[in-house]
A and B are shown apart, each in its own frame.
Chain A
């Protein structure tokens, strides 16, 4: 993605592609068994998380191992807004953005004094501290292990009093997040869900904003920091405010994603801040292609999709899948395979990740590019291909 290879037309096509994919998401994903609201919301939300993370990691070269802390902060902020003010998602998301941005400003200010492995460890330490605080000192805010939940007697000062004894639902000016229009199409059930479309629209805005950053002078400075921070200092640039800008933007993206998680399921728990969650977004970004625009979204989608498939399998289903094998062999195969599914899905993820890093260091997006270049070799395409390879080696 050098200056020369990004054309206004290419960007517009990419935006159009995103719009089509999001609008027709329920139809496109249905044949893969992924067209139901819960999962589609996750695709969009973790897509936002990964896009933001990529601005810090892919663009600026700072590997944070603590970004789930901002996800958690966003969720808590949103739920508090639901409890105190209104079930409308707008104030909830605004608070999620503000608080996570503020949090990122403080944490970034401290951790960005170091780079490389020390920065990674500092961010990890901060996230773990937040996680532990959520369980201890901060229980009045986080409600400890139970998690922060909506209660019938929450003030909700802007909302009308509830008619029935049911808990209220998150809504966008009355449009409830769980309202879904179901229809049948070619024998599949399609779900058009309000919560999904809210997340989708925000994903679109988040993607557009990231694209502007990639194509701006700021984006070029961030790439220069990744490439040779030292040189940039001798070029008259004070790199600290730039890295802090990138850190705060990525923290806000994470907070926004956390806020959306609360909008689709109004509950916030500290496990959202655990280091495994921070590691997951690193995997998503690398798996899809760090430093590229689309890669993180693809990575987030791939991980959430396979998580959904693999973690749903259990032993009896495996037995059914391998029923064509003779009994003794089947038991052996099933006992091996079962370590990779259900709770063991993380093991599959680990293997998948290793394969990608070893054989496709540029991520899934590079895989797609390689396959495409097999089919159409444009005249003079060699140079671009080489520059792509040079980038991925960095």
Chain B
């Protein structure tokens, strides 16, 4: 039994069966990649984990609790952080504030009044936020307004927002999309370091270089169905996978 157990998830949008009896078992402390052509249902699957969508049927158990029916903030408080496919940040706040907010959520829980303590007295939170920014090599930009960042930088900022919470499970939806090659490699190195600390990660990625550098296990989705799940070496030569990718829309 892994830390995240997903079984028989079905999800449809109108006439489209986006997820078809999906099972997934993510083991504690591993990096588990989900790959598949565009529109395969990868993001939809993550949405079912974080409370954005409720699947028609199925079970999502995380660390002994069922996530189905929980609100997004409750799922995050249970230890699941997510990096979105299209960057979701606090665009008109500074980078430092963007990272301090999740740090507060981790310390204070889903709601705490906390209106008399001045922000500048919160040196511990600030230090943790700065450390997370330093991890993604953005400490020098701490005072900048987040909207002014490039797409790749926004992604790294979101990664820092996830890391600062020290989650039990980090969900990454295409963390390197929009990044330059050098930044992608830096991100791979960073994620390797994080993974070495024992953090469990689920990563969706189109960039096979990233996938094969990081993943210990790979699930392949195509048209809402799991067509393969195995170690990276075995996935590479899998006939069904080759077929899905050659026949898919992804180049």
Contacts and interface: CB of A to CB of B under 8 A. Distances in A.
Contact of A234 (B82, B119, B148): B82
B110 A212 contact: no
A227 interface: yes
Contacts of A217: 104, 108, 112, 114-115, 117, 119, 122
A3 B120 contact: yes
Nearest to A229: B90
Contact of A218 (B110, B114, B143, B144): B114
B234 to A, nearest CB: 34
Contacts of B102: 235-236
Interface residues of A, number: 37
A238 B102 CA distance: 12
A391 B108 contact: no
B92 A390 contact: yes
A291 B94 CA distance: 15
Nearest to B115: A218
A213 B112 CA distance: 13
Nearest to B90: A227
B111 interface: yes
Contact of B88 (A215, A231, A241, A387): A231
Contacts of B145: 2, 386-387, 390-391
Contacts of A391: 92, 145
Contact of A233 (B73, B92, B112, B161): B73
Given A3-B119, A212-B118, A220-B101, A236 B91 contact: no
A221 interface: yes
Interface in B91-117: 91-94, 96-97, 100-102, 104-106, 108-117
Interface string A162-185: 000000000000000000000000
Contacts of A236: 73, 76-77, 102, 105-106, 109-110, 165
B76 to A, nearest CB: 3
Contacts of A255: none
A216 B110 contact: no
B248 interface: no
Task: Specify which of A218, A233, A237, A383 lies most central, judged by the most chain B CB atoms within 10 Å of its CB.
Answer: A237
A270 B118 CA distance: 39
Interface string A235-248: 11111011001000
Contact of B50 (A3, A234, A239): A234
Q: Is the interface of A mostly helix, strand, loop or mixed?
A: helix
Nearest to A387: B145
B76 A234 contact: yes
A215 B92 CA distance: 16
Nearest to A388: B145
Given A218-B113, A234-B72, A236-B110, A228 B88 contact: yes
B221 to A, nearest CB: 22
Interface in B42-77: 50, 52, 71-73, 76-77
Contacts of B112: 217
Contacts of A242: 111
B179 interface: no
Nearest to A2: B94
Interface string A1-32: 01110101000000000000000000000000
A40 to B, nearest CB: 30
Task: Specify which of B82, B108, B115 lies most central, judged by the most chain A CB atoms within 10 Å of its CB.
Answer: B115
B97 A2 contact: yes
A220 B115 contact: no
A231 B101 CA distance: 11
A8 B120 contact: yes
B143 A224 contact: no
B147 interface: yes
A394 to B, nearest CB: 4
B69 to A, nearest CB: 15
Contacts of A233: 71-73, 76
A216 B91 contact: no
A231 B90 contact: yes
Contacts of A232: 90, 101
A224 B101 contact: yes
B93 A2 contact: yes
A223 interface: yes
Contact of A4 (B96, B113, B147): B96
A239 B110 CA distance: 8
Contacts of A390: 92, 145, 147-148
B80 to A, nearest CB: 9
A228 B89 contact: yes
Interface string A362-394: 000000000000000000000100110011001
B111 A237 contact: yes
A212 B118 CA distance: 7
B93 A223 contact: yes
Interface in A94-118: none
A288 to B, nearest CB: 19
Given A215-B118, A224-B101, A234-B72, 8 more contacts: A8-B120, A217-B119, A220-B100, A224-B90, A235-B161, A237-B105, A237-B110, A245-B113
22 contacts: A3-B96, A3-B119, A212-B118, A216-B114, A218-B115, A221-B101, A224-B93, A227-B90, A231-B89, A234-B88, A235-B73, A235-B102, A235-B165, A236-B76, A236-B109, A236-B110, A237-B73, A238-B111, A245-B115, A386-B148, A390-B92, A390-B148
